[in-house]
Amino acid sequence: MQLDIVQSVLDGKDTLALLPTGGGKSICFQVPTLCQDGICIVISPLIALMKDQVKNLRGRGIRAYAIYSGMNVPEIDRILDNCVHGGAKFLYLSPERLTSDLAIARIKLMKVNLIAIDEAHCISQWGYDFRPSYLNIAEIREFLPKIPLIALTATATAPVVKDIQEKLIFGKESMVFQKSFARNNLSYIVLYEENKRSKMLAVLKKISGAGIVYVQNRRETQEVAYFLKKNGISAEYYHAGRNGDVREKVQDDWIANKTRIIVATNAFGMGIDKPDVRIVVHLTLPDSLEAYFQEAGRAGRDEEKAYGILLYNQSDRIKQERYFKQAFPSVKEIRRVYQALGSYYQLAVGAGLMQTFDLDVPDFAKRFNLHPVETLHALKVLMKEEYLDLTENVFFPSTLQVIVQKEEMYDYMLRNNKLQRLVHIILRSSQGAFNHAVNIREEQLANSLRVPHKELVFMLEKLHKDAIILYKPQKDAPQLTFLMERLPENDLLIDQQRYSFLKDRQKKRLESTLHYAETLQCRNQLLLAYFDEKDAAKCGHCDVCLGRHDQYVKHHEYYQIKTKLEYLLKKEPLALRILVDSFPDEINEKVLKAIEHLMDNYMIVRTGNNQLRWN
């Protein structure tokens, strides 16, 4: 389908491409751009994805740039100039940056041949990751009226497809290409397990090859990776809070198959091109089928046999329902968080417009006695209402720029003998430092000077303090940008109608995810029906189609039986026959299946005199 999509773009038609995860969406805008003179403007919400694609394009000798939060104005200015005059082929922008006056003024001077909107579902309130800033993208069409637009997504239901075309003002001859979301090589399996880690270990020992294990939070990534290593499986952990260099090494080792399993939060995987992933395990239930489909879909991109396995139990339902309540804090709590931000950064009312700061969410929440999870969701609401922008954790390398003339620099060197060698090395190794900020590696500089890392940093800070250079140490934290000046508390308005709508949409998504986990229907059929492929045939290779639940208890029945078994066996050990006879005859098979399952997970154990007891 890629060829048809590329041809549609080259024919000058607005094009919507719906391709499953791993379907090769980037090719669909990269190829037509390279076929023509000019530059492609790519809008993406994810900094990590932008940086990864720019790196890949440059690795192929293609001039590409990205602009995102945290970059300084001179750096942005230089990139925009290169895109106007320097023969660049791709400019990646966040939607917020796209509509800034600085970007619009320069884009008008560029020879644009295509506008590409990645993660296009973000434009729709019906989508699972709605971002209000996407609604402003259509403004660019006013001054580029004849330039075709391509929108791309891996997850879109029918209302979202319609919404994308309307919001992006698609032309009359527009085309929609939708490849079936069916993945015939991928087996979707749900296993009801109390002891998830033991089951995960058994599964990973049975299914060979590279894999991803998705967990709920950062702490779990480390715990689960350690558990796997302790049990003889090569594993590493990945989350957005780890140092950028470390994250990159973990990712590279996994891609090169030096590490077999990567244990990660959902911060991992977007834009990662590894075709030979054999298994994706979810230890916790995602909050939407769109997210699950995208994450599980990272397995088997090479079209060889692969598995998407969800380990589920009743506590998942309880956790998700609690998490849902926390995800929609009251308007009063949102205002409280907003005012606390002003105090945290010591911003007066009326100040802060377009200023960017590092944000340590745990520290911020602790300092103002806020609940960390509710605080994060309050920040997301403020993003959706366009009061601020909060990026994911992203690594920014150290930079320096010489801010004096060469004569002044040499005069300074004569007066500061101890810093002469450092200045010489900077000037020799950092071309262009007099004109713009350049990336540096402190470790490399320290090795060249043969001084400890701490001493090198002290020297750089001395040059910075003396106003010879502008030195910015590396950072690896979320970036918070105020999109408007700080408002008085009562002037902060939340669109209650839209907030209620989004809450209702998320509740329905959660119900669909729980239905997927708890209903004994062909998993593939159920997923495809969610994405409007209503007449899909049974896959024949999910846990349901393989009959793993024949004569098995339905989920709610299982927990009723388990509750009674636990009550009886905690009072006293009992023989199997007595235990089964304490239930109605018509569910004897289900009780036996439940006992077998509980014994497999060591919840029930056999005593020395052949009785059963609760462990």
CATH no., domain 398-473: 1.10.10
pLDDT > 80? residue 42: yes
Range 2-178: architecture per CATH: 3-Layer(aba) Sandwich (3.40)
**Residue 199 · residue 193 · CB < 8 Å:** yes
Taking the alpha carbons at both ends of the chain, their separation in whole angstroms is 55
Backbone CA torsion sign across 246, 251, 256, 261? positive
- pLDDT score of 557: 74
Q: 143 burial class (0-12, 13-18, 19+ CB within 10 angstroms)? A: exposed
The residue ranges of DSSP E strands in 185-341, in sequence order, are 186-192, 210-214, 235-238, 261-264, 277-282, 306-312
Task: Compute the distance between CA of residue 50 and CA of residue 271 in angstroms, rounded to an integer.
Answer: 9
Domain boundaries in the chain?
Answer: 2-178, 186-312, 321-389+478-504, 398-473, 555-614
pLDDT > 60? residue 351: yes
Give the rounded percent of residues in the chain with a pLDDT score beyond 70. Answer: 95
Strand-pair category, 175-178 with 15-18: parallel
Q: What DSSP line would sit under 572-596, residue for residue?
A: --B-HHHHHHTS-GGGHHHHHHHHH
Largest CA distance in the chain: 97
Task: Compute the distance between CA of residue 324 and CA of residue 503 in angstroms, rounded to an integer.
Answer: 9
- 321-389+478-504 CATH fold: Arc Repressor Mutant, subunit A (1.10.10)
- pLDDT single digits (tens) 420-442: 888 888 777 666 777 777 778 88
- pLDDT score of 338: 94
Q: Do domains 186-312 and 321-389+478-504 have the same CATH topology?
A: no
Predicted confidence band of residue 212 (pLDDT cuts 50, 70, 90): very high
Nearest to 422 by CA among 384, 451, 393: 451
**Residue 215 · residue 263 · CB < 8 Å:** yes
Helix (H) / strand (E) element for 244: namely helix 244-255
Give the pLDDT mean for 177-203. Answer: 89
Which tokens sit at 25? 């969406």
64-100 as b/e: b if 16+ CB within 10 A: bbbbbbbbeeebbebbbeebeeeebbbbbbbbbbbbe
pLDDT > 60? residue 394: no
- pLDDT score of 70: 67
Give the pLDDT mean for 235-258. Answer: 86
- CA of residue 38 relative to chain centroid, distance: 31
CATH no., domain 186-312: 3.40.50.300
Q: Mean pLDDT of all residues in the chain?
A: 86
CB atoms within 10 A of CB 534: 9
- pLDDT score of 490: 85
- pLDDT score of 556: 65
- pLDDT single digits (tens) 262-292: 999 887 876 677 889 999 999 998 888 988 9
